[in-house]
Amino acid sequence: MAEALVTEHELPVRHACRAVGLSRTAWYRQPAPASERDAEVIAALTEIVEKRRRWGFWKCFDRLRLDGRGWNHKRVHRVYRGLGLNLPRRTKRRVPQRLRQPLGAPARLNEVWALDFMHDSTYGGRRFRTLNVIDEGNREALAIEVGSSIPAARVVRVLEQLVEIHGYPKALRLDNGPEFTAEVFQDWCRARGVETRFIQPGKPDQNAYIERFNRTYRAEVLDAHLFETADEGAAITEEWLIDYNQHRPHDSLGRVPPTRFLPRSTTPESSRGVCP
């Protein structure tokens, strides 16, 4: 207000400050930005939270007092809220150390199945997921499960259905997603003697066969169609799977389809045997 009187009405600073009840000291000495005034408080709070992410405000304030910081709790809380520390803080999920998984080409079927998830959405914006399963022996797509939610229990059901048709695999190649590290999935693998080969975090090249399959599925189905519903996407995917496995030439398989490169036996027990 005082600035407007000075610039627009050309009043002297003394008269303008008197009109709005502002001291001339405040006019000539502009307050420092809040970030500069509270820099010390910001640094102290940041240091505490970086080491102790689960502490709330009063834990942090008590620690500051024990460290000899005499700031008023109202000031500390204002800075605490300004930094967004009062909001829920997510901690990074700790992934166990994984051994490097060499990527070979199995000479037989049911040696290694590779699993991975993909995401897409319908025309109306409803998101859905797909669980893709291939056999690394002949790159055959065994299943693509489509749904709005595919938790670990549903992953197990999909594998049980595949086992009834093809028999048990010796190993599964996986990333570190929560569905694959869930107890229900791990229990299923242990009970059936199926080895789990987790790739190292951030190393999708260790699961390159299914990553390459995902790119093809993305280009020829997900990006090529507009789905009204997830069920429509599942129906189109089922038709595409038949074409992919039986008719589409595969460059790395000598330009023949997967089922022609390495045909699958009609009896699942002959590939691996029943579960002990």
Q: Between β-strands 127-135 and 140-147, what pairing exists: parallel, antiparallel or unpaired?
A: antiparallel
Enclosing H/E stretch for 37: helix 34-37
H-state helical runs in 88-221:
152-166, 178-181, 183-192, 208-217
The pLDDT, as a whole number, for residue 58 is: 94
Torsion, CA 158, CA 197, CA 180, CA 190, rounded to 10? 70
CB under 8 Å to 144, separation ≥6 — which residues?
Answer: 130, 131, 132, 133, 217, 237, 241
| All structural domains of the chain with their residue ranges | 2-82, 112-270
The pLDDT, as a whole number, for residue 4 is: 63
Question: Are residues 206 and 100 in contact, defined by beta-carbon separation less than 8 angstroms?
Answer: yes
The pLDDT, as a whole number, for residue 85 is: 85
**Which residues lie across from 134 on neighbouring strands?**
114, 141
Residue closest to 206 by CA, chosen among 90, 96, 116, 77: 116
Phi-psi region of 98 (alpha: psi -120 to 50; beta: other; left: phi over 0): beta
pLDDT in single tens digits along all 276 residues of the chain: 556 655 665 668 676 777 767 666 666 666 667 667 888 999 999 999 888 888 889 999 999 999 999 999 999 999 998 888 887 766 666 666 777 777 788 889 999 999 999 999 999 899 999 999 999 999 999 999 999 999 999 999 999 999 999 999 999 999 999 999 999 999 999 999 999 999 998 899 999 999 999 999 999 999 999 999 999 999 999 999 999 999 999 988 889 999 999 887 754 444 444 443
Task: Give, to the nearest 10 degrees, the angle between helix 39-51 and helix 73-82.
Answer: 70
The pLDDT, as a whole number, for residue 167 is: 95
Task: Give, to the nearest 10 degrees, the angle between helix 183-192 and helix 152-166.
Answer: 20
* Class of domain 112-270 (CATH, top level): alpha beta
Question: Are residues 194 and 186 in contact, defined by beta-carbon separation less than 8 angstroms?
Answer: no
Give, rounded to a whole angstrom, the gap between the first and last alpha carbons of the chain: 85
The pLDDT, as a whole number, for residue 270 is: 43
Chain-centroid distance of CA 5 in Å reads 56
Question: Are residues 114 and 134 in contact, defined by beta-carbon separation less than 8 angstroms?
Answer: yes
Q: pTM of the full predicted structure?
A: 0.65
Question: Are residues 45 and 60 in contact, defined by beta-carbon separation less than 8 angstroms?
Answer: yes
The pLDDT, as a whole number, for residue 189 is: 97
Amino acid of residue 208: A
CB atoms within 10 A of CB 85: 19
Residue closest to 230 by CA, chosen among 155, 117, 147, 151: 147
The pLDDT, as a whole number, for residue 128 is: 96
Q: What is the residue-wise DSSP string for 114-151?
A: EEEEEEEE-TTS-EEEEEEEEETTTTEEEEEEEES---
Spatial separation of the C-alpha atoms in residues 177 and 151, rounded to whole Å: 11
Spatial separation of the C-alpha atoms in residues 104 and 194, rounded to whole Å: 18
